[in-house]
Each structure stands twice: as structure tokens, then as C-alpha cells.
Amino acid sequence: MKYCCHILLLALALSACTDKAAQEPVDFSDVLIEDSFWTPRLDRHKTATIPICIDQIEKETGRMRNFEKAAAGEGEHEGYFFDDSDVYKALEGLAYSLIQHPDSVLEAKCDEWISKIAAAQQEDGYINTYFTLPCPIERWTDMDKHELYCTGHMIEAAIAYYHATGKRTLLDVAQRMVDHAMTVMGPGLRHWVPGHEEIELALVKLYRETGDRKYLDFADWLLDQRGHGYGVYGDPLEPVDDGTRLYYQDNVPVREITDIVGHAVRAMYLYCGMADVASFTGDKGYMEALDRVWDDVVLRNMYITGGIGSSYTNEGFTEDYDLPNLEAYCETCASIGMILWNSRMNRLTGDVRYADIMERCLYNAALAGMSLSGDRFFYVNPLESKGNHHRRPWFGCACCPSNVCRFLPSIGGYIYNVKGRSIYTNLYIGGSATFDVDGKPVTLKQETEYPWEGTVQLTVQTGCRARLMLRIPGWCTSWSLEVNGEKVTYSNSGTSGYVCAGNAWKAGDRVTLKLDMPVRMEAADPNVKADIGKRAVCRGPLVYCMEEVDNPVSYDSALLSSATVFSETWEPGLLDGVTTIRTADGAVFVPYYSWDNREAGRMKVWVDYK
């Protein structure tokens, strides 16, 4: 099996002590990140990302003014019909920050926003400023106007803020809106196919929070509406063309999905919703469809960075292996969606291949979406640039900045999963975590210089009986393991999977995993015409690129071959500290996530190979 972006084999063999079973993530609120790579980024989230989101929402755009006008019942709506969602996503990010770093000033700002949101809710529970203010169409008449999409993001923000503060004002607002929607659509009522998925996964979160089965059933019903000819333009149904159905993932019933189609972000949220519903209902049809479409995404439609969605035209997919570099779309939101979906698939199946893709997306496609300063963002993430593509502080359609705002502070929740007496370590990020294993508290401390170095040390700080499972990344072909300084030999060395370090621990026991990180060249699948005769340079989980600023002379003439010798240099003063890769011919490579953080210039991931 091959990724469409390279020819490294993805071995699926798992270690002998691994079982495929549903796992539960360790919540990021139980994880304290103390890591030289991620801590500075989380600090900038507090000092740069949050302030710019607040400024844009309150002052530079009409997003918060829309709620004020809706509460007053007068004025014109500003911006897009889905702009309420940016407020909710940013608010979710603020709530996550409060969970890790309580801040009375920030909490007061959240309360101020929530008060304005609650004031804009109608007597029947409906809330959406685009439709509340003078609007050319009536509410619940156009399935593509994102009413349920905005509701989904409100649910997620409400639950996050309730967990952060114990305050349920926004949760009550969200629950009333959902209860209202369920008087309009559902079994025996109107058909409804949301034009932009998101509500489905949010409803499952609401079910988890409230224990009310009707929200899970509603999510399942919405998923099952797709592909039956109901359409996304209202009820009664009007005929729509096949291209429209493909764009909205409304072309086939969800259990019959085989290929990814249409808009990339919509597809990711759809698959997340299917996985979440299946986690409670055990719907094999959902899981079989997700397994099929995962192969189509990863093997035929994914960039080497983990980015997806190559086309500007539909912000999504065209045909298999259509992966241009200069024209690549790769929306930041789609990359975050890939992480959300693959983390769910990993938890449901125990299969490490999903964690591999999660890591690839995290360190490359998603991380590139934000500047090193934390206050500039990419909407589009090409793999080649002529020097005219740059991050911006905000966009008219600002889904990506607000999505980054909510995603970044939650990364601690992707490190560990737990199933019974097994602890699965999926990401190597320094810090400590305290969580229950089989009903008893366990504390782990992780120390590493990942992704620059492959040595990871885990210290078990509370004695316990638990299988400690460590992921061997798919990119790693050589590794070693030590327990309390003594080397442990395993027969499955060189395969991708989880390795079991042991199952009985005393306080202070140490596990040291050493992953070799040589520079490697990866080739694209030969069906990818844009990359024929080219190679990409990678090291560890990172994809590298050439920037013109480092290669003023050799940018056009750079040539790789089987004889190319690479050297690696840690440069603490460059791009917040990076390991650069150089060739004897003078070509310089830096991590893809770090490009466009210096002077403008050309960039490319794929380099000519002879």
C-alpha cells in the first residue's frame, strides 16, 4: 500500500500485545504541556492569537455587532451568513485557554460575548443573526445557509465554556436552539440535509454532556438524510445536478460512500460525525464506509504534507491523483479536519495508521496555517509559491483563523488514549499527564526534543499495572527501547505499530524510546503527474521545503539524486529554532510549516530528481 504522496510502505502489523478496540482520549485539561516546540506556540496563542481574534470580532468586523443588532431587533447584517460561527469558534478557543490558564479578564470578556449572544436568541429558541436581522429569505428555507453549521459550533463553544467555568448560560442557549430545530425537522417532520456538515459531531458532544439520547438520534437521522434525493435547497425538493450533490456529499447514502467528493472541510466534518455516532451505536455500515473512503483520501487524494482538497473551484476534490503544487488549495480548516477525523478513527479501531496521518497533518499542513508569531494565518496552503502568497491577520471568510484559535490549545488531547489497563502514546510532546487507568490515577511525565530529536523518555510517576503502548511512526524504520536503562529487544523491530514497553510499573520507572531520524527522500505515486521526476525531503514527522531566501543562487538549479548526501544542523536563531538540511551542492531546506515567516520569495516542496 502506498500514499499517493510517497512510496514508503505503511506497515500495518501491530505488536503482539496490541488489541483493536475502542479507546478513550485523555482530555487535554489533564495534560500539562512543557515542551520546547509546543510551549512557545501555546504561549503565543494566549498573547497573539486570542487578542487578534478578539480585535477582529469586536472592532474590525461586524461579527459581534450582528449579535448586538439582533438583540435590539434593528440594523443590517454585516458580512457572510455564516459569520456567527467565527464568534463561536473563537469563543471555544478562549474557553480552552481558560481551562489551562485561568484568567479573570479573559473570562469576563467571554461572559460579555455570551451575554450578547443570549440576548439575540428569539423567544422560540432560534438564534442566527443573519436570519434574525432583515433577510431576503425566511429561516429554515435554504439548507445551504449554515443555520445548523452555526448551531454546531455554538454547541461546541458552549460545552467548552461550561467545562472551563461551570457557567451554563451559553449551553442553555445552544440546547434551546437544538430543541427548536427538532420541532422543524426530523422523523415525521421535514427532511433536512445541512449544506455544511458540523452539527452532527456537535450533537454527539451534546449527547455526551446531557445524556439525552434524542441528540444522538438526531445526529444519526441527519446523517441518514444524505444521498436520498432530498437536496440542500429546501423542502419541497427541487432537482439539482450531480455536481451540486457531489459538492455537498449528498450523492449517495453515507453507508455507501466509497470516494471522497466535493468540499474538503464539509467531508471531514461528515466523517467525524459518522465516527462519533458509530462510537455509540456500533453502526458497522458507517465504519465500513469510513474505512473505504479513508483509503481513497490517503492513497489517492492527500498531499505529502497531509493537506487535502486540491481545487480552488470547489475548495475540495476533482479526480484521483490531481495534486498540483502551485495551485494546491489545502485549506487550513481541512487539515484540522483531517486531524479530528483520524484521531477518532484511531480511537475506534486501535489502528496506528490513523495516528500516523494525524501526526503528518499536525506538523505540516495544519501547523503551516499559522505564522510563528501567532497573529497571521494561511487560508490556502500550496506546496509551491512564486513569492506572492502570504499569511494574513484575517479574512472575509475567516473560518481558518478562528479554527486555529480553537484547535491549538486542545493538542494535549491527542497525545494519549486509554483502554482498560492499556495506555496508548500517539504523539511525542513533552509534559505531564494525570488520568485514570482502570479506575486508578496514573501520572506520566514525557521528556523529548521531538520533532528535532527522536529520543523520548517517559517516567511513570505513580506505580500502576498498565500496558504502556508506544507508537512507532510509519516513517521510522529503526528504533530501540530501554526500560530503566536496560535495552529491550522485540522481534517486530522495523515495523510500524505500537510496542508494549511493559505492564507493571513502580514510581520512578523510566522508558526510553529512541527513534532514528535520518533524512529521507520521498517520491510521489507515479500517477501524480505534477511530481514526476521530483523528490521531497523529509526528516522525522516533518516535510521540508526550499525557500528562495536561503537559496538565492541554487533555487532553480537544485537537483537531487540517489547519491545526494545530506547534512543536518540545529540552528537555534533561525525560525524560532529549526534543524536545517543541506546538500553538498549548497541547497538548503527548512521545515514546510516555517515557510513565509521571513522576506518574501519563492518556495517549493518538490525538487527535481535525476
Cell numbers 523529509 label which residue? Answer: 538
Burial of 488 per CB tally in 10 Å (0-12, 13-18, 19+): middle
- For 495-541, the pLDDT digits (tens) are 458 999 999 999 999 999 999 999 999 999 999 999 999 999 999 99
What are the cell numbers at 584? 553538498
Q: Is the dihedral of CA 473, 475, 481, 485 positive or negative?
A: negative
Q: What DSSP letter does each residue of 19-35 carry, written as one string?
A: -----EEPPGGGEEE--
Just give the CATH number of 1-26+415-517: 2.60.40
> pLDDT by residue (tens digit) across 556-596?
999 999 999 999 999 999 999 999 999 999 999 999 999 99
Is 0.85 topped by the overall pTM? yes
Q: What pLDDT does residue 230 have?
A: 84
Task: Name the burial class of residue 123, with classes exposed (0-12), middle (13-18) and buried (19+) by CB atoms within 10 angstroms of its CB.
Answer: exposed
pLDDT at 166: 97
Rounded (10°) angle between helices 264-281 and 332-349? 20
State residue 349's pLDDT score. Answer: 94
Annotated catalytic residue: which of 53, 272, 330, 399?
Answer: 399
Q: Who contacts 322 (Cβ-Cβ below 8 Å, separation ≥6)?
A: 301, 310, 311
Task: Say what the pLDDT of residue 7 is.
Answer: 29
Please give the Cα distance from 90 to 406 (Å, whole number).
6
Of 107, 198, 315, 359, which is the active-site residue?
A: 315
Annotation marks residue 399 as catalytic:
yes
* pLDDT of res. 22: 86
Q: Which of 384, 407, 251 is nearest to 326 (CA)?
A: 384
SS3 for 417-472, per residue? EEECCEEEECCCCCEEEEEEECCEEEEEEEEECCCCCCEEEEEECCCECCEEEEEE
Residue numbers of the chain with a pLDDT score lower than 50:
1-20, 234-237, 493-495
- DSSP, collapsed to helix, strand or coil, labels residue 9 as strand
- Residue 239's pLDDT is 53
Query: Is the dihedral angle over the CA atoms 437, 439, 440, 443 positive or is it negative?
Result: positive
Q: Would residue 315 show up in a list of annotated catalytic residues for this protein? A: yes
pLDDT confidence of residue 14:
33
| Residue with the three cell numbers 454532556 | 209
Domain positions in the chain = 1-26+415-517, 541-608
Output the nine-digit C-alpha cell for 263: 468540499
Residue that has been written with the C-alpha cell 547519491 in this structure: 563
DSSP reduced 3-state for 2? strand
For residue 382, say if its preceding peptide bond is cis, omega within 30 degrees of 0: no
